[in-house]
Chains A and B, each alone.
Chain A
Amino acid sequence: MIIVPMLMIVLYAFTVQGNSVLTLTITFDNFARFFSDPIFPGVLWKSLKMALITTIICIAIGYPTAYIMARQKPKSQGLTVLLVTLPMWINMLVRTYAWKGILGRLGVPGEISVYVGMVYNFLPFMILQIYTALSKIDASLITAAHDLGADEKQTFLRVTLPLSLSGVVSGITLVFLPAVSSFFIPKLLGGGQYVLIGNLIEDYFVSTGDWNFGSAISLIMAVIILISMYITRKLDKDVKEK
C-alpha cells in the first residue's frame, strides 16, 4: 500500500507520455527537461528559499515564545500550550482562507501574505518542539550554572540554549520539510503570482495532465527532502553528542 504508489511515480518519471504496457520507453527526458529550462530550477530555488525563510521566522518567533512558556508557573503552562495548539484544531484550508480575507482587505502584497500564512500554519509545531525540549531541562542545572558563577545571560548561552537545540532541530524538521512542498498556501495567498514547486507539481498532475513530468518533479523534490532530512539528522546527532 505504501510502496505501490511510489513505484508508480518512479515508473511515470522515467517514461514518456502515451506509453502502453507493450511499449515502455525508459527515458531521462523528464529530468533533462527540468534542469534545461531555467524556469524550473528557479522555482525550486524559490521554494527552498521560502521554506528556509519561513523556518527562520518560526525559530525567531518560536524560541522566545517557548522560552517564556517554559518559565511560566506549571498551572498557566497548560493554558498557553492549549492556546498555541488551538489554531491546529481548525482545518488548515479554512485558516488560510481566513488569512486571505484579512490580508486581502489590508492590501498586503502577495509575497508577504504567503509568509504570514506559512508562519501562522507552521509556528505551533516549532513552539511545541522547543517548549518540550526546554521544559525537560532539569532546574537544578540552571541553579548549578548560577552556583558556578554564570549570570542569567551566560547560563542561557551555555546551558539552556545548547540543551534546547535538539528541540530546535526537530522543529526545523517539522517546519522546513512540509514548507518546501506546500502548495495551497502560496497559491491561495500569493494570488496565483507566486508559483512554487508544490504548485508546479499540482499543475502538471491536475491541469496539464502530464503525469510523467509531474512525477519527475516529485522525485526531484523527494531527493531534496531526503538530503535535507539527512542534514537535520546529522545536526541533531551533533547536538546530542556535544
Chain B
Amino acid sequence: MAKKLIEIKNIVKRFDNQVVLKGINLDINENEFVTLLGPSGCGKTTLLRIIAGFLEPDEGNVFLDGEDIATVPAYKRDVNTVFQHYALFPHLDVYDNIAFGLAIKKQPKDIIHQKVMRMISLVGLEGFEHRDINAMSGGQQQRVAIARALVNEPQVLLLDESLSALDKNLRKEMQLELKEIQREVGITFIFVTHDQEEALTMSDKIVIMRDGMIEQVGSPLEVYNTPVNEYCAKFIGDSNIIDGTMKKDRLVSFDDADYVCEDYGFAENEPVDIVIRPEDIDIVPRNRGLLNGEVKSVLFKGVHYEIVAETSSGTSKTVIMHVTGEHDVVNAEAHERMSATSFSMDVEDVKDITDAEIIARANAQAWNDDEEDVSIPNVNYDLKEDEGVYDCTFETAAGTKITIKINVVKPVSVEDAGNEESIQAFNFTKSVDEIKESVALDTDLIRWADAYAWSTEDNSQVEIWDVKYDFDDENITEGDYPITFSTQGRELKLETTDHHEVGERVGLEWNPEDIHVMRKMN
C-alpha cells in the first residue's frame, strides 16, 4: 500500500472576485507521478503554486507528510519547482545554478561538488558544467532546471508546464527522460500540463480539472477507458460521444436501437452520454454488424486509416425549385421592350405586398429603342392569402404587356422526433441565369429556399449539412427540380488498418465492453 504524502483538503482560492479553485480535495502518494491535466484557466497552475507555497489558499489545508504547510513559506518547504520558462539564473553558469540551493543551505563545498556532479550526470549534461546558461538550448536549460530542483532532494518535485516550450520531438524525448528520472530518484512528481498525450505517457495518476474543480482522478488507463463524463472523454483521446438513453442495466439505446453494454447503476431511461473509442469499432460486411453505415471520408494516418461512417441520416426536407426563363416582350409599334421573371413569395407576405415590391421581386423592366427606361404604371394581379399560382401582368402606358406567375407558398417543415430536430424550407422560383451565375450554389440554394434547421430540444440552430439535387447547374433549363436539405446524421469515427472507399456501404460492430456509458454533465 502506497503511503500518502500530500493531502490537499478543501482548497479554495479567489483572485479578486473570481473563484479559481472551488474546494479541491486530492491525495498524492509517495513516489507517484501525478499529472494535473486541464485547459488553461482550469486552476491547475494555481493549485501547483499553492503546493509550492507561492500562493496562500483562502480556505483549506495542504498536508505534507501529515504536517499542515499552508502557512509555511516557500523557502522552508521540502518541495522544489521546475518552472515553465525554467527561471534559471542568468548570472550563474550551469554548475552554480544547480549548486544554488545547496549553497543557500551552506553545505560544505566538497559535498556540494559531489551532489552537483551526480545531478549533472543524471540529466546528461557532463562537460557543460561551466557553460553560460544563455548559451544552452531549450532542452539543455530544461535539464539544468530539473537538476537544480532535484539536487535539493525534495520530497516532491513540481513541474509547471515544463515541456511546453520545447519542440515536438524534444518533448517526446523529455517525456521518457522525465519518467526515467522519476523512477531513478524515487520521489513524487506533480506535473501540470494541458497536453493529454503527455499526461497519458508519464503519469501514474491523472487528475482532470475543469473550472477550479476536479472532474476525475485515475490511472491513465482508467481515465481513458472509463471517463466519468463527456468532458473527460473529450479531453483524453479521440472519441465518439453520442446522446443516448439507458434502457436498463447493461442496455443502452441511441438512434432508435438498443445496444448491450456492461454499464449499470443508472436510473431507468436516464439520458446518458455514450463513448465509443474509434479503435474499438470494427468494419464488417453490411448487415452483419450491429448497425449499417456509409463511409463518408477516409484519412490515411500512417499506421491506420481514420474513417468516418454515417450510420443514420439527418433530418431532411425536399422542396421544389421552379426554374423559369426570362423572356423579353417586344412591342414594335411602341418601340418598347419589356422583361420580368416569375417568383415565389411567402403566404404571410401577401397582405402587405405593394406594386413597387412586386416590380422589384419580378425584376420587371421596360425600355425603349434608345435604351431609356420606361415606367410601368399598371400592375394587375389577384393574389389570395392561400397557396397557389397567380398571374400577374405588368403594362406600360404604351400598352406593352408581360405576364408572369407568382407562386404563393407556405414554409414546409419536417420534424424528426428521433433526431430531436426540425427543418424548414420554401419552394422557390429562380431564373436560369441566376442559377448559372451562382458561385456557391449550395449556399445560395439554402438562402433561396430559406432553409433553416433547429433543435426541438432547445431551439438552437442546427447546421444544414447537405444539399442534394439532381441537375447540372451549367446546363439547367426551365422546369421543376427537387432539392433536398438535410442536417448531419450520426457519424462515427473509427480507426482501421484496412482501406475502404468513400461511399462504401458497410456494417459496424463493437464489443459490449467497448461501449462506455457516462452520466450527463450538468
Chain A residues with CB under 8 Å of chain B are: 138, 140-141, 143-151, 154, 158-159, 162-163, 239, 242
Within 8 A of A (CB), among B271-307: none
In contact, B101 and A149 (Cβ under 8 angstroms): yes
State the 10 A-B residue pairs at the shortest beta-carbon distance, nearest first: A148-B101, A140-B87, A144-B87, A146-B74, A162-B91, A146-B75, A149-B104, A147-B81, A150-B104, A149-B75
With A141-B89, A162-B91, A163-B91 as contacts: A148 and B83 at CB distance below 8 Å: no
Interchain residue pairs with CB less than 8 A apart (30): A138-B87, A140-B83, A141-B90, A143-B87, A144-B83, A144-B87, A144-B88, A144-B89, A145-B100, A146-B53, A146-B74, A146-B75, A147-B54, A147-B74, A148-B75, A148-B104, A148-B149, A148-B152, A149-B75, A149-B76, A149-B105, A149-B152, A150-B100, A151-B73, A154-B104, A158-B100, A163-B90, A239-B91, A242-B91, A242-B92
Residue-wise, chain B 391-419 has the 8 Å CB interface mask toward A (1 for contact) of: 00000000000000000000000000000
Indicate if B50 sits at the interface (CB-CB under 8 A).
no
Q: How far is the CB of A58 from chain B (nearest CB, A)?
A: 23
In contact, A140 and B148 (Cβ under 8 angstroms): no
Q: Report Cα–Cα, A140/B148, bound state, in Å.
A: 15
The contact of B81 among A141, A144, A242, by CB within 8 Å, is A144
With a cutoff of 8 Å between Cβ atoms, the chain B residues found around residue A145 in the complex are 89, 100
With a cutoff of 8 Å between Cβ atoms, the chain A residues found around residue B148 in the complex are 148
With a cutoff of 8 Å between Cβ atoms, the chain A residues found around residue B208 in the complex are none
Q: How far is the CB of B75 from chain A (nearest CB, A)?
A: 5
With a cutoff of 8 Å between Cβ atoms, the chain A residues found around residue B90 in the complex are 141, 163
The total of interchain contacts (Cβ-Cβ below 8 angstroms) comes to: 63
Q: Report Cα–Cα, A61/B26, bound state, in Å.
A: 50
With a cutoff of 8 Å between Cβ atoms, the chain B residues found around residue A163 in the complex are 89-91
In contact, A140 and B85 (Cβ under 8 angstroms): yes
Q: Report Cα–Cα, A239/B91, bound state, in Å.
A: 8
With A149-B152, A162-B91, A242-B91 as contacts: A143 and B83 at CB distance below 8 Å: yes
Q: How far is the CB of B468 from chain A (nearest CB, A)?
A: 58
Q: What size tier do the contact residues of chain B reach?
A: 20 to 34
In contact, B89 and A150 (Cβ under 8 angstroms): no
Indicate if B6 sits at the interface (CB-CB under 8 A).
no
Q: How far is the CB of A49 from chain B (nearest CB, A)?
A: 32
With A154-B104, A158-B100 as contacts: A146 and B87 at CB distance below 8 Å: no
With A140-B83, A140-B85, A158-B104 as contacts: A147 and B52 at CB distance below 8 Å: yes
Identify the closest chain A residue to B52 (Cβ).
A147
The contact of B87 among A141, A149, A158, by CB within 8 Å, is A141
Task: Known pairs A146-B53, A239-B91; list 15 more (Cβ under 8 Å).
Answer: A140-B85, A144-B87, A144-B89, A147-B74, A147-B80, A148-B75, A148-B152, A149-B76, A149-B101, A149-B152, A150-B75, A158-B100, A158-B104, A159-B91, A242-B91
Q: Report Cα–Cα, A175/B166, bound state, in Å.
A: 44
With a cutoff of 8 Å between Cβ atoms, the chain B residues found around residue A151 in the complex are 73, 75
With A140-B85, A159-B89 as contacts: A146 and B73 at CB distance below 8 Å: yes
Q: Report Cα–Cα, A198/B101, bound state, in Å.
A: 51
Q: How far is the CB of A231 from chain B (nearest CB, A)?
A: 20
Residue-wise, chain B 90-104 has the 8 Å CB interface mask toward A (1 for contact) of: 111000000011011
With a cutoff of 8 Å between Cβ atoms, the chain A residues found around residue B88 in the complex are 144
Which interface residue of A141, A144, A145 has the most chain B CB atoms within 10 A? Answer: A144
Identify the closest chain B residue to A166 (Cβ).
B91
With A143-B54, A158-B100, A158-B104 as contacts: A148 and B87 at CB distance below 8 Å: no
With a cutoff of 8 Å between Cβ atoms, the chain A residues found around residue B100 in the complex are 145, 148, 150, 158
With a cutoff of 8 Å between Cβ atoms, the chain B residues found around residue A242 in the complex are 91-92
With a cutoff of 8 Å between Cβ atoms, the chain B residues found around residue A162 in the complex are 91
With a cutoff of 8 Å between Cβ atoms, the chain B residues found around residue A149 in the complex are 75-76, 101, 104-105, 152
Q: Report Cα–Cα, A79/B87, bound state, in Å.
A: 29
Within 8 A of A (CB), among B374-405: none
Q: Report Cα–Cα, A138/B91, bound state, in Å.
A: 12
Q: Report Cα–Cα, A148/B76, bound state, in Å.
A: 9
Q: How far is the CB of B482 from chain A (nearest CB, A)?
A: 66
Identify the closest chain A residue to B103 (Cβ).
A158
Q: How far is the CB of B47 from chain A (nearest CB, A)?
A: 16
Residue-wise, chain B 101-131 has the 8 Å CB interface mask toward A (1 for contact) of: 1011100000000000000000000000000
